[in-house]
């Protein structure tokens, strides 16, 4: 299986301009990994040493509360990054699980390599500074939405944020992202029609 860097290079291009040599250097830091449907890439309690870029398929990160309920923090379809950043930065056991919602292929970047790249290729630090800012803005907005919006309004926000996932994700997964039970979600959607 040859590694496809087209999608990651397109993501980079939106924010910084690399020449051919820099692109080759950047790509050389990734390894590629297949993740099967339902396979776990990272388990709560493990120390995460890498960040994942989704080339194909779809992953999710989630937390399980003490009552066993899953709370989904993020879906990552093709072109998205996903990680337990807390664990990656702190080198302490993480609080998230990451698994695949379908057969997927990810590019893996070790934190140690990422930190080397920040020094060797400052444009890459710029790229990560920018996408981290964007991610912070979207987390902040979701926090506000969770505090101030009703469940149907949160569903509308989900549909805008992940338009490609509305019809492909199981309803149960969307419900766990919105923060309602699958039963409530099903009733809510019938009323919204």
Q: Can you give the binding site for a copy of itself, defined by CB under 8 A?
A: 63, 65-66, 69, 71, 73, 85-86, 89-90, 95, 118, 122, 125-126, 128-129, 132-137, 139-144, 146-149, 179
- Alpha-carbon distances of 53 from 18, 107, 122, rounded to whole Å: 18, 5, 20
Cβ proximity to a copy of itself: between 85 and 110 the closer is 85
The alpha-helical segments, DSSP class H, found in the chain are 6-13, 20-27, 85-90, 111-120, 122-148, 151-161, 171-178, 182-192
Cβ proximity to a copy of itself: between 56 and 188 the closer is 188
Q: In angstroms, what is the minimal distance from the CB of 67 to a copy of itself?
A: 9
Cβ proximity to a copy of itself: between 63 and 103 the closer is 63
Q: In angstroms, what is the minimal distance from the CB of 142 to a copy of itself?
A: 6
The token pair that represents 20 in the structure block: 């051919």
Produce one character per residue of 172-192: b if its CB has 16 or more CB atoms within 10 Å, e if not.
Answer: ebbbbbbebeeeebeebeeee
State the Cα–Cα distance between residues 114 and 156, nearest whole angstrom: 36
Q: In angstroms, what is the minimal distance from the CB of 72 to a copy of itself?
A: 9
Q: In angstroms, what is the minimal distance from the CB of 2 to a copy of itself?
A: 31
Cβ proximity to a copy of itself: between 122 and 152 the closer is 122
């Amino acid at each position: 299986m040859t590694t496809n860097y087209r999608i990651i290079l397109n993501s980079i291009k939106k924010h910084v301009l690399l020449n051919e040599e820099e692109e080759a250097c950047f790509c050389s830091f990734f390894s590629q990994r297949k993740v099967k449907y339902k396979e776990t890439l990272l388990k709560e309690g493990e120390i995460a040493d890498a960040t994942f870029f989704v080339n194909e398929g779809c992953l999710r990160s989630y937390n399980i509360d003490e009552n066993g309920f899953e709370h989904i923090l993020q879906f990552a379809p093709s072109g998205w990054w996903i990680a337990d950043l807390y664990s990656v930065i702190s080198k302490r056991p993480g609080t998230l699980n990451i698994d695949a919602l379908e057969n997927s292929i990810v590019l893996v970047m070790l934190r140690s390599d990422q930190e080397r790249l920040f020094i060797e290729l400052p444009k890459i630090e710029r790229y990560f500074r920018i996408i981290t800012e964007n991610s912070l803005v979207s987390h902040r907005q979701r926090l506000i939405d969770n505090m101030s919006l009703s469940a149907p309004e949160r569903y509308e926000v989900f549909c805008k944020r992940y338009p490609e996932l509305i019809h492909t994700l199981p309803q149960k997964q969307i419900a766990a992202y919105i923060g309602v039970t699958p039963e409530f979600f099903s009733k809510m959607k019938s009323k919204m029609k």
